[in-house]
Amino acid sequence: MGSDNSNQGSPRLRLPSPSMDKIDRLNRPGWKRNSLTPRTTTFPCPGCEHDVDLGERGINGLFRNFTLETIVERYRQAARAATAIMCDLCKPPPQESTKSCMDCSASYCNECFKIYHPWGTVKAQHEYVGPTTNFRPKILMCPEHEMERINMYCELCRRPVCHLCKLGGNHSNHRVSTMSSAYKTLKEKLSKDIDYLIGKESQVKSQISELNLLMKETECNGERAKEDAITHFEKLFEILEERKSSVLKAIDASKKLRLDKFQTQMEEYQGLLENNGLVGYAQEVLKETDQSCFVQTAKQLHLRIQKATESLKSFRPAAQTSFEDYVVNTSKQTELLGELSFFSSGIDVPEINEEQSKVYNNALINWHHPEKDKADSYVLEYRKINRDEEMLSWNEVEVCGTSKVISELESNCNYAFRVRAYKGSICSPCSRELILHTPPAPVFSFLFDEKCGYNNEHLLLNLKRDRVESRAGFNLLLAAERIQVGYYTSLDYIIGDVGITKGKHFWAFRVEPYSYLVKAGVASSDKLQEWLRSPRDAVSPRYEQDSGHDSGSEDACFDSSQPFTLVTIGMKKFFIPKSPTSSKEPENRVLPMPTSIGVFLDYDKGKVGFYDMDHMKCLYERQVDCSHTMYPAFALMGSGGIHLEEPITAKYLEYQEDM
């Protein structure tokens, strides 16, 4: 039975039994908890099976199990029955002892016991037992109040307590009973339980025999199932070997035919060489002086040479060297073999919902199953795919619902996910694999800053500070009356409440589809002060090199690193800022607006990139001056809205709670 420090109301977490070194460390005097140690160190009690918090006192806060000590001592005495316990007070040679005094912690023979425990003295009242070597006092003391004996039983906590625990301790409002009453009640219950088990002895033996038969049957059925599986795979091997032989024969036949054609063509061309074939024969014909004989032969020879000359002008190989037509396409078969599993007996295959599945530092995988009510559980499998597309072994997680969060994924890596359903011992085939790419850096957690430069007249920030909207209302209409040629409506800036001074960071956000003009990116602290102090000086599109407009200043200063980088998003479009190397046509720099946009900042290298989160694809990247603290920066004009992705803010809120 453990101490009251165990939190019995919390969910039980079964941990492996701590080693003796760990127990000694916890029990060592002067050991104190600090901020780096876990909040609780649980120890599974072998008696009550509750997880016990050892607390500051370590194992000293636990009860001694005198019942177990007595049982152990009983068996020790039985083992020592052949070896007598000698009297401690006899003069040599000592006699065999007959009694042991628990108060004197010594063993005596009959004569010595009479001498040292005479009638009519205080020692005559000492407690004595049969010969033993265990003289530890059998007194159960309270672990909370070390000087108090246990004398009551708490019926609510079902554990022994002392009178101080009842008067002002943890059990002051609990109902308690006397130890004798608890002893009688529990002894009766235990006796009934034992009698019941003894009465069911024949039934237990029968069930053990049945279990032995079931084990043998399972062994036989398992071997039979293995043999059937081997038979099926051997059939597949035979089909593959047959197809392999047929394909190789077809390739060999085609190769031989092509080589024959090349050989014939080569012999024809070799005949054109001097002193070898046609040329040599023609030279001999030219030596003929008889005109009639020459004309008779030269006519056909001229036609042959003319034909050979034409072949030289338009050389064409007699056959192709490529065997592209003989490449075996096994993609479909590979997919089918990958899904090879036991017969599902009607269990439908689960399908992963790609739209609801997202990945950051952690991956949230959602799936739906037509037979949801009939499936007992699911197994989600995932594995990392290396850059050379080498796939590691699958990791498995058992899930009761239809979603799961997978933690501790590596940055900038591809992961494959698939799921299968279980109903009893029957398993469905695996779903199609979903490949997700993790961000290039850990998630940077922040919220919108409602203090620094926040314009509450134009911007509306929600209570969670993860969503901001631009109010294009009456104030903007009034300002429109004053808008003349050359004047631009100012942007309303809002930044993150956490800055970056080192390392690699990644965050993501969504821009509402109805948004007119939104800018997003990073900006240094000194540039933000300039913007927020005099926003009207920074409203011209020519002012910002990354504004996305065709301004001449962009070409002039693009290569110089600036203390900010912003991209323009609006009207369901994503505008890539112009550079000297890009096309001058603006439509070539306009992309459809991604569902979610990611920002990757490498502070140490001074580089920022913007990503399409649906495919984890970098849309735009450039250098940025990171000599000051960098902040996530946003700006809105007209109607618009920005929503930080939940993983960006959720970790931040969790961090705040821990503080």
Candidates 380, 370, 379; CA nearest to 348 is 370
Candidates 492, 509, 520, 544; CA nearest to 631 is 520
pLDDT for 200 equals 86
Instruction: Look up the pTM and report it.
Output: 0.47
Pair 537, 531: CB distance under 8 Å: no
Specify which of 236-240, 322-326, 645-649 reaches the highest per-range mean pLDDT: 236-240
Question: How far apart are the C-alpha atoms of 316 and 312, rounded to whole Å?
Answer: 9
- 317 pLDDT more than 50: yes
* pLDDT-derived band at 215, boundaries 50, 70, 90: very high
* pLDDT-derived band at 658, boundaries 50, 70, 90: very low
- 478 pLDDT more than 70: no
Question: How far apart are the C-alpha atoms of 108 and 99, rounded to whole Å?
Answer: 5
Q: What is the pLDDT of residues 259-312, one digit of tens each?
A: 998 888 887 777 666 545 677 777 778 888 788 888 878 877 787 777 777 766
322 Cβ neighbours under 8 A, 6+ residues apart: none
- 568 pLDDT more than 90: yes
Least confident range of 207-221, 224-238, 577-591: 577-591
* pLDDT-derived band at 585, boundaries 50, 70, 90: low
pLDDT for 551 equals 38
Question: How far apart are the C-alpha atoms of 596 and 276, rounded to whole Å?
Answer: 74
Q: What is the pLDDT of residues 58-106, one digit of tens each?
A: 666 666 665 676 677 666 666 655 567 888 888 888 888 888 888 888 8
Mean pLDDT score across all residues of the chain: 77
Q: How far apart are the first and last CA of the chain?
A: 35
Q: What is the pLDDT of residues 44-63, one digit of tens each?
A: 666 566 666 666 666 666 66
Give the mean pLDDT of 22-36: 43
* pLDDT-derived band at 487, boundaries 50, 70, 90: very low
Pair 510, 645: CB distance under 8 Å: yes
* pLDDT-derived band at 657, boundaries 50, 70, 90: very low
Instruction: Please report the domains of the chain, with CATH numbers, ordered by start residue.
Output: 42-180 (3.30.160.60), 198-312 (no CATH), 351-438 (2.60.40.10), 459-534+562-658 (2.60.120.920)
pLDDT for 539 equals 43
Percent of the chain with pLDDT over 70: 72
171 Cβ neighbours under 8 A, 6+ residues apart: 4, 154, 156, 157, 161, 165
